[in-house]
Amino acid sequence: MPELVEGVVVSLIAGYYDVETPAGLVRTRAKGAFRKTKEKPQVGDRVKVKLDEQGLAYLVSILPRKNRIGRPAVANVSHVLLVISAVEPDFSVQLLDRFLTFFSWQGVQVTIYLSKSDLLGEEKLKEVKDQLAYYQQIGYPVYLDRAKLAEELPGKIGPEDIWTLAGQSGAGKSTLLNFIKEDAQQETGAISTSLNRGKHTTRKVTLFKLGEGFLADTPGFSSIDLTPIKLTDLASYFREFKALSSGCKFRGCQHLHEPKCAVKDALKKGKIAQFRYDDYLAMRTEIEEGRIPEYLK
Ligand SMILES: Nc1nc2c(ncn2[C@@H]2O[C@H](COP(=O)(O)OP(=O)(O)OP(=O)(O)O)[C@@H](O)[C@H]2O)c(=O)[nH]1
Ligand SMILES: [Zn+2]
């Protein structure tokens, strides 16, 4: 009786799929019949693997995919570590809001890391910190300290979780990834083999074990496209709006000119930041007109 096990595709190498299973890492080939179908297994896919009597392993099916994001693409991303720089490129809540909205739409949770805070003067840094405090308050974990992030990250990655990095070009994704990998390597010698393998496949993506799940071993991605978002859904991706929307008089309230709107009420009282609301309006226009800002391309 051939044995069927479930696992996660952690890398693609010359026609082979390496699958992490409860029994360890298994190098598999896609089954002939399955290869003919259009669907190709991707890194991050949960798959079923059949082990035959000769000890050969075949990837026989892909379980339903939750999402597929980034370049190179990773399937089933559960969390993004969003790197946003204090300078070069300059910190901007507009940029941050667009990333957060995109990931919310994709059903991905976000942890924010502010890079290059060392390059900012005290006064400017305080401004940025104040703005980030708002995001923390609405539920996004925020880190400014790289060492603290690297230390706490493994504990945040639960079983089945797949994390990847994202952020604007030059934000510091590679720098952070290298730091995290070094830190992880010092903690556990066990993952060093998969880390080394990753080094030779920089254009491809590899998942390495971190915490109880995985972190993608690539600098992640910098471009996102918001234009496919349905306009009437946009407000639901602003988490503090969503939390309040049950208090709006109208179901499906877009928080524009509707009477008795809980979101506009909170805005007036200063509970919702004006910059968030302004961004909501700006993004509505962008989606309506089908254009996205230059820095997101
Ligand atoms: N001072 C300082 N410099 C940093 C920090 N993080 C990154 N840098 C520098 O910022 C530059 C860009 O960093 P990368 O890590 O290459 O940025 P990236 O996000 O991977 O960029 P892309 O590959 O273009 O997407 C490099 O010169 C880094 O050395 C930081 O926390 N402080
Ligand atoms: Zn409303």
pLDDT tens by residue, 191-239: 444 444 444 434 588 999 999 999 998 877 777 888 899 999 999 999 9
* Pocket around ligand 1 at a 6 A CB cut-off: 115-116, 118-119, 167, 169-175, 219, 222
The pairing of strands 16-21 and 3-13 is antiparallel
On whether 101 is known to bind a ligand per the annotation, the reply is no
Q: Where are the domains of the chain?
A: 3-62, 68-216, 231-296
Q: pLDDT band at 190, cuts 50/70/90?
A: very low
Q: Which two tokens stand for residue 209?
A: 């074990």
Please tell me the residue having the least CA distance from ligand 1 atom 5: 116
Q: Are 279 and 235 in contact (CB under 8 A)?
A: no
pLDDT of residue 2: 64
pLDDT of residue 186: 61
pLDDT of residue 195: 43
The alpha carbons of the chain give a radius of gyration, in whole angstroms, of 21
pLDDT tens by residue, 78-107: 999 999 999 999 999 999 999 999 999 999
On whether 211 is known to bind a ligand per the annotation, the reply is no
pLDDT tens by residue, 6-61: 999 999 988 899 999 988 999 998 876 666 667 789 999 999 999 887 878 999 99
Helix (H, G, I), strand (E, B) or coil at 213: strand
pLDDT of residue 120: 94
- 273 CA to middle of ligand 1, Å? 29
On whether 245 is known to bind a ligand per the annotation, the reply is no
Residue 208 contacts by C-beta under 8 Å, 6 or more apart in sequence?
10, 181, 184, 191, 194, 195, 198, 214, 215, 217
CA 88 to chain centre: 22
CA 264 to chain centre: 30
Please tell me the residue having the least CA distance from ligand 1 atom 2: 116
- C-alpha 261/C-alpha 266 separation (Å) is 9
Closest of 28, 32, 34, 33 to residue 51, by C-alpha: 28
> In CATH, what number does 3-62 get?
2.40.50.140
In this predicted structure, the answer to whether residue 252 has a pLDDT above a threshold of 90 is: yes
60-74, 186-200, 218-232, 257-271: range with lowest mean pLDDT: 186-200
Ligand 1 mutation pick, 175, 176, 178, 203, max ligand atoms within 8 A of CB: 175
- 246 CA to middle of ligand 2, Å? 8
pLDDT of residue 203: 58
Q: What is the DSSP string of 248-297?
A: SSSTT--SSS-SS-HHHHHHHTTSS-HHHHHHHHHHHHHHHHT---GGG-
Q: What value of ipTM does the predicted structure carry?
A: 0.98
155-176 average pLDDT score:
94
CA 275 to chain centre: 23
CA 37 to chain centre: 28
Of the listed ligands, the closest to the CA of 71 is 1
pTM given for the model = 0.91
pLDDT of residue 14: 83
In this predicted structure, the answer to whether residue 115 has a pLDDT above a threshold of 90 is: yes
Better pLDDT: 188 or 205? 205
> In CATH, what number does 68-216 get?
3.40.50.300
pLDDT of residue 18: 95
Q: Which CATH superfamily is domain 231-296 in?
A: Probable gtpase engc; domain 3 (1.10.40.50)
Q: Are 217 and 198 in contact (CB under 8 A)?
A: yes
Q: pLDDT band at 187, cuts 50/70/90?
A: low
The pairing of strands 213-216 and 207-210 is antiparallel
For 13, 67, 205, the CA distances from 197, given in Å and listed in that order, are 10, 25, 11
- C-alpha 94/C-alpha 256 separation (Å) is 19
Helix (H, G, I), strand (E, B) or coil at 92: coil
Preceding peptide of 89 cis, ω within 30°: yes
Domain 68-216 and domain 231-296 have a common topology: no
pLDDT tens by residue, 168-182: 989 999 999 999 988
On whether 169 is known to bind a ligand per the annotation, the reply is yes
Closest of 227, 188, 224 to residue 209, by C-alpha: 188
- C-alpha 211/C-alpha 176 separation (Å) is 17
Closest of 218, 226, 216, 204 to residue 295, by C-alpha: 226
- C-alpha 41/C-alpha 53 separation (Å) is 24
